[in-house]
Amino acid sequence: MNTLLRIENLHARVDGKAILKGIDLTVKPGEVHAIMGPNGSGKSTLSNVLAGRSGYEVTEGTVTYRGQNLLDQPPEQRAREGVFLAFQYPVEIPGVSNIYLLKAAYNAIRRHRGLNEVDALDFLKLVKEKTRMVDLDEQFLYRGVNEGFSGGEKKRNEILQMAILEPTLCILDETDSGLDIDALKVVANGVNALRSPERAFILVTHYQRLLDYIKPDHVHVLAHGRIVRSGDASLAHELERKGYGWIEAAAAGA
């Protein structure tokens, strides 16, 4: 099988402070990787570096996505190539309706792929179907992007965007945090519905409960800017019972 994403020895700084200190990770199409780890260990930093947010300085290492150097592409190019980040804290854009943003994004990606822009009616049909899937009322389509949405509604909205844009590499940064049990199922269903042999997921999470619904192929523990342990789904159960202390201690001793 091909490799979709290969991260090698990735080091990154923020404001001159080293946060990522040598990450290695290989993701193949069809796989689900869970990344867990204590607060402040660098999970969002890794997600942001992959998505191309400014303010992060990569000091060493490489990231290859579909055979291309990912790091020299501007963020919109990465997005059009199929990299999607569901944000830990989705921003509000007052005045810009949700459906307008969705259509602009959808067409930007289609143009990039040499496809025709979709017309308003076809798009509306697609959006309505996906909106039902994430259990959001249609009125959310016409509200400002995330404007006044509750925490859970914002997260569902991220999943709605993912479902419409159909990316190839989906990075979900704590999309499960702060969700009630129904919303958690919506997020999990959204991910499971999109699972396919071509598509891969990186799920950043603190909780085993998400992994009860989405079974990961690999689980990694990130601590102090490094992946200190990798395993299969059972590692997540172990973490749930024991916390991170024992791994961090083992890593420090190693």
Specify the stretch interacting with ligand ATP by CB under 6 A; choose among 13-21, 26-34, 139-147, 148-156. Answer: 13-21
Answer with the entry of Mg ion, ligand ATP, another protein, none that 193 interacts with (C-beta below 5 to 8 A by kind). none
Cβ-Cβ contacts under 8 Å for 116 (sequence gap 6 or more): 110
Answer with the entry of ligand ATP, Mg ion, another protein, none that 154 interacts with (C-beta below 5 to 8 A by kind). none
In angstroms, give the least distance from the CB of 143 to another protein: 11
Q: Confirm or reject binding of residue 117 to another protein (CB under 8 A).
A: no
In angstroms, give the least distance from the CB of 205 to ligand ATP: 9
CA–CA separation, 137 and 88 (whole Å):
22
Q: Confirm or reject binding of residue 42 to ligand ATP (CB under 6 A).
A: yes
Q: Confirm or reject binding of residue 14 to another protein (CB under 8 A).
A: no
* End-to-end Cα spacing for the chain: 32
The helix-helix angle for 181-194 and 151-165 (nearest 10°) equals: 10
CB 159 within 8 A of CB 134: yes
In angstroms, give the least distance from the CB of 125 to another protein: 11
Which residues on adjacent β-strands are paired with residue 13?
18, 57
> How does DSSP assign 35-86, residue by residue?
EE--TTSSHHHHHHHHHT-TTEEEEEEEEEETTEESTTS-HHHHHHTTEEEE
List residues near another protein by CB under 8 A. Answer: 51-55, 74-76, 78-80, 84-85, 87, 90-91, 93-97, 99-101, 103-105, 108-109, 112, 120, 123-124, 141-142, 144, 161, 165
